[in-house]
Amino acid sequence: MRRRWVISLLVLTIAAVAVLLVKYWPRTTSDNECSALYRRYLDRDGIQASYIQGKAIGDTLRVDVTLLQATSPSGWQQLCHDFNIPTPDSSALALLQDGNPDITLSILPPHFSDPSQEEMHTPDPSQEERLSSDMMLLAASSHTLQCVSVFHITTPQQFDALVGHHIDQLNP
């Protein structure tokens, strides 16, 4: 009887460990699958770049995210410069003391990820429209967290899930 319990416990433990391993084992994307933005900041000093493929938002939606975190003051200055992040004034800084991170949203131009493409790009309205409708880069920057999170939005549902409630507040 005791042996039976030991076998059962062993089976249950193996099942649990197998599932947890499959679920939480880090799956790594190859560099080719990562965003151009991630590759652009990959080797910058003072900035830690992360590319998160298929981040779950809500129950069914997923979005790709490039996260750029400053690890030094110079890295944060670099990010502020690249993403045109305004420096908050003293009154705004006082408001930030409540512990919640400040988030500034901005929509990046289509060629932001790879500026070299912008120079080569020939002005073609239909092409521009197609590009912008294919993907939108929504940047959320935070002074308190000293990071910029860029969401690679490809569907209106993803946009709604992330910031749709702000639009609803603007248009009651």
Partner 1 sequence: MKQNDINETDIELMLQRYARQRMEQQILDEGDALYSHHLRRASLRHYGVTAFAAVLLVVSLWGATPQVSAQATNRATLADRHAAIATTDLIIHNL
Provide the binding-site residues for partner 1, judged by CB under 8 A.
4, 8, 11-12, 15-16, 19-20, 23-24, 26-31, 33-34, 38, 42-43, 48-57, 59, 62, 65, 67, 69, 100-101, 103, 105, 140, 142, 145, 147, 149, 162-163, 166
- Given the complex with partner 1, which of 30 and 87 has the nearer CB atom? 30
Contact present, 66 and 152 (Cβ < 8 Å): yes
CA distance 117 to 33: 18
- Given the complex with partner 1, which of 97 and 126 has the nearer CB atom? 97
Among 167, 161, 129, 144, smallest CA distance to 65 is for 161
CA distance 138 to 150: 5
State the nearest-atom distance from the C-beta of 95 to partner 1, in Å: 14
Residue 112, both tokens: 């932001």
State the nearest-atom distance from the C-beta of 75 to partner 1, in Å: 12
